[in-house]
Amino acid sequence: MTLLKPRERFLAAVNLQEPDRVPVFANLTPQVAEKLGKKMGLPYAAEDSFLSTRISHTEILLELGNDAVGIGPGREKPTIRLEDGRLKDEFEIIYQTVGLYDEAVVRPLAECETIDDLNRYQLPDPLAPSRFELAEKMVARYQENYAIVGDLEATIFELSWNLVGMEKFLMDMAMGKEYLFELLDRVAEYNTKIGVRLIELGADVIWMGDDFGTQQGMMISPAMYRNIFKPRQRKVIKDFKEANPNVKIAYHSCGSIVPIIEDLIEVGVDILNPVQPQAKGMDLALFKEKFGDRIAFLGGVDVQGVLPNGTPADVEEEVKQRILAAGKGGGYVLAPAHNIQPDTSLENIYAMYEAVKKYGTYPLNF
Amino acid sequence: MSLFQEMSEAVISGSAKKVKELSEQALAQGNDPQNIINDGLIPGMNIVGARFKANEIYVPEVLISARAMHAGLNVVKPLLSAADTTNKGTVVVGTVKGDLHDIGKNLVCMMLEGAGYKVIDIGIDVAPEQFVKAVEENKPQIVGLSALLTTTMINMRNTIDLLKSYPVKVMVGGAPVTEKYAQEIGAHAYAADAASAVDRANELVAS
């Protein structure tokens, strides 16, 4: 069988059709990208060190064997370094670098109690032209051969709580404070505008998301999710599909979110990500059986154990098991459940891509 | 309903204002501050913990209950005499070096406090030496270590190694941490979530 273009391979899989082999869409942490880039002789600098790493390291990832390219919104105003060394972004969130991550330490809505307070804060302009310059270039460069994934994780819940601070946000939500619902609407509208623009530019997939799971279960009750978030997700997805009926919606939520998967399908999610294997109940084989005729899966490879701590042989076995669980008939894009962490050996990364070729070629042969 | 029952109910429903008022009322009626904690606030948080564990309530509800409990503690704690501190034990808790994640750690602190422990939260990005210092200063029975990242889990091992010469039990938890890993690095207990952290702490102080 002639090999498909990566773009065709990826799109067939997310359309629940069987491609020539299981496609791959992995992402890297900057430390891993640097190691790989040096070894492969490819550029490894992030496109913008303060934007999602999911839109960076493209040349390395394609050389390794990714079938899709991540694009995403840039900034209207650049992130600035304050005199004390901390970073301030265009949302007015202040970050401190600790270890390998920048973590928010000052939130612009930390004191927000009322709609009046909220009105004193303005979200940036979602449609600022500078926000889409990079995305536009990347689409022009990669669209012919690769599927384009518009990264818009932190769609409603996460961007909102990032502005407020998580504990206050969760408490205010439990107490039903009015400002909070208005904030959720404004944030949803902000990201809807960005997503629609990414679709107009050529995104085949919009990768939405909000982390609703912890390692052990839901962070908020399924009822609270259904009352507060589900209607807003439904509207956002409707707007995306109006912009292009063929666009596929991938949904990212870390952790264990078993009770709401059916809800996500109902509001129009086409691809579930990342199906974090060590989170309670996130059983890819079971999900394939239960939901596999309605949604595709993106993810599944363990970044909390096998990838950083296993041997290349363990990684090969992990890939084999995930393909065995979800590969049948298409509908599966193999990916690590999070950006590959700095404690992962290059050998394990190569082993992952090799194993997909070995075990993921259709017809599957186990 | 007795005043203490009412206080427990208000903790469970997360009504900080009501817990504060009831705590003041209980003091005005001549109740012992320690009794207010033991018979009013802690029983409420015990139910919150049990419901959290049973997936009947989730993080937002636990947070408002913990805040309500604190509203009561703030009223009565200043009146406790040194002799009154009949808490179940002292626990030093922190997120290990290189790791800034604190949501899980904060929940553990709230649950432990709600179960009657004195909790010393030494924050995030805590170096092994800082844990040792906190142990020397506070003489806890238990040290709790939290980590979210596989890249920072190694600092749990480093901390445990340094704490070996001290008479404390070490409990670990956090998303990538497993029972197996806990055993490998010589921790005395592993807790998968905030509610089971209380169970593990109870076992450790009893052992």
Instruction: Note the pLDDT tens digit of each residue in A270-296.
Output: 999 999 999 999 999 999 999 999 999
- Residues A159 and A183: beta-carbon distance below 8 Å: no
Residue B188 C-alpha, separation from nearest chain A C-alpha, in angstroms: 21
The pLDDT of residue B197 is above 90: yes
Out of B24, B49, B84, a domain closes at B84
Q: How confident is the model at residue A142 (pLDDT cuts 50, 70, 90)?
A: very high
Q: Are residues B80 and B101 in the same domain?
A: no
Digit-coded pLDDT (tens) for B8-48: 999 999 999 999 999 999 999 999 999 999 999 999 999 99
Taking the domains of chain A in order of start, what are their residue ranges? 6-359
Is some CB atom of chain A closer than 8 A to the CB atom of B103? Answer: yes
- What pLDDT is attached to residue B100? 82
Helix boundaries (H) for A15-122 = 30-40, 58-64, 115-119
pLDDT band, very low/low/confident/very high, at A101 (cuts 50, 70, 90): confident
Lowest mean pLDDT among A93-97, A114-118, A335-339, B200-204: A93-97
Average pLDDT over residues A169-174: 96
Does one domain contain both B189 and B147? yes
B55–A309 CB contact, under 8 Å: no
* Full residue range of the structural domain in which residue B134 is found: 90-206
The DSSP symbol for A53 reads G
Whether B57 and A173 lie within 8 Å, measured CB to CB: no
What length is written for chain B? 207
Give the residue-averaged pLDDT of A257-274: 98
Which residue, B62, B84, B106, sits at the end of a domain?
B84
Among B64, B97, B151, select the one facing A174 at the smallest CB separation: B64
Q: Do B60 and A309 touch (CB under 8 A)?
A: no
Closest chain A residue to B104, measured at CA: A214
Query: What CATH number does domain A6-359 carry, 3.40.50.300, 1.20.58.220, 3.20.20.210, 3.90.850.10?
Result: 3.20.20.210
DSSP A77: S
Shared-domain flag, residues B48 and B68: yes
What's the first-to-final CA gap in chain B, in angstroms? 37
Nearest CA in chain B to A338: B149
Nearest to B49 by CA among B70, B36, B65: B65
B69 and B97 share a domain? Answer: no
Rg (CA), chain A: 20
User: Residue B20: left (phi > 0), alpha (psi -120 to 50), or beta?
Assistant: alpha
At residue A48, the pLDDT reads 66
On whether both B96 and B18 belong to a single domain, the answer is: no
- Angle, alpha carbons B158-B207-B88 (nearest 5°): 90
Q: Is there a contact between B100 and A98 if contact means CB atoms under 8 Å apart?
A: yes
Domain co-membership, B53 together with B32: yes
Query: In whole numbers, what is the pLDDT of chain A averaged over residues?
Result: 95
- What gap in Å lies between CA B204 and CA A176, rounded to an integer? 39
Set of chain A residues whose Cβ sits within 8 Å of the Cβ of B55: 217-218
Q: Are residues B98 and B60 in the same domain?
A: no
- Kindly report the CATH number assigned to the domain that includes residue B22: 1.10.1240.10
Residues B98 and B68 in one domain: no
Task: Based on the fold, state whether residues B122 and B179 are members of the same structural domain.
Answer: yes
pLDDT at A100 over 90: no
Residue A99 has pLDDT above 80, yes or no: no
pLDDT band at A204, cuts 50/70/90?
very high
Q: Is A50:A79 a contact under the CB 8 Å cutoff?
A: yes
Is the pLDDT confidence value at A157 over 80? yes
Task: Give how many domains chain B has, as a whole number.
Answer: 2
The minimal CB distance from A220 to the residues B59, B97, B149 is found for B59
pTM for the model stands at 0.92
In this prediction, residues B116-134 reach a mean pLDDT of 95
Question: CB-CB: which of B55, B67, B176 is closest to A217?
Answer: B55
pLDDT digits (tens, 9 = 90+) for A3-52: 899 999 999 999 999 999 999 999 999 999 999 999 999 999 887 666 66
Q: Which residues of A touch B (CB under 8 A)?
A: 96, 98-101, 103, 166-167, 170-171, 173-175, 214-221, 224, 255, 278, 303-305, 308-309, 341-343
Pairing outcome for strands A87-88 and A94-98: antiparallel
* DSSP SS3 for B129: helix
Q: What is the pLDDT of residue A50?
A: 63
The shortest CB-CB distance from A343 to any of B57, B61, B150 is to B150
B40 to chain A, any CB pair closer than 8 A? The answer is no
* Helices and strands per DSSP (H, E), number in chain A: 15, 11
B123 touches chain A (CB under 8 A): no
Domain final position from B65, B84, B103: B84
Structure letter (DSSP) for residue A78: -
Nearest residue, CB atoms, B63 vs list A170, A218, A224: A170
Asked if B193 and A98 come within 8 Å (Cβ–Cβ), the reply is no
Contact B151 A100 (CB under 8 A): yes
Per-residue confidence band for B99, with pLDDT thresholds at 50, 70 and 90: confident
Instruction: State whether B105 and B139 are in the same domain.
Output: yes
pLDDT at B130: 97
Residues of chain A contacting residue B101, judged by C-beta atoms under 8 Å apart: 103
Find the mean pLDDT for residues A109-116: 98
Same domain as B143, residue B122:
yes
What are the residues facing B146 on neighbouring strands? B95, B173
Residue of B nearest to A171 (CA): B60
pLDDT tens readout for residues B136-163:
999 999 999 999 888 899 999 999 999 9
Amino acid identity of A196? V
Contact criterion met (CB below 8 Å) for A231 and A275: no
- In this structure, how many other beta carbons lie within 10 angstroms of the beta carbon of residue B161? 12
Are B131 and B94 members of one domain? yes
Identity of the residue in B55, B60, B192 whose CB atom sits nearest the CB atom of A224: B60
Q: Which CATH number belongs to the domain containing residue B125 in this structure?
A: 3.40.50.280
Q: Do A214 and B98 touch (CB under 8 A)?
A: no
Closest residue in B to A309 (Cα–Cα): B150
B53 contact residues in A (CB cutoff 8 A): none
- Angle subtended by helix axes A178-201 and A133-142, to nearest 10: 40
Q: Which of A32, A102, A158, A167 to mutate to test the interface with B (most CBs of B within 10 A)?
A: A167
- pLDDT, tens digit, for every residue of B60-93? 999 999 999 999 999 998 888 765 566 789 999 9
Q: Return the number of CB contacts < 8 Å for A and B.
A: 81
Are A304 and B175 within 8 A, CB to CB?
Answer: yes
- How many Å is the maximal CA-CA distance in chain A? 63
Nearest residue on chain B to A225, judged by CA atoms? B58
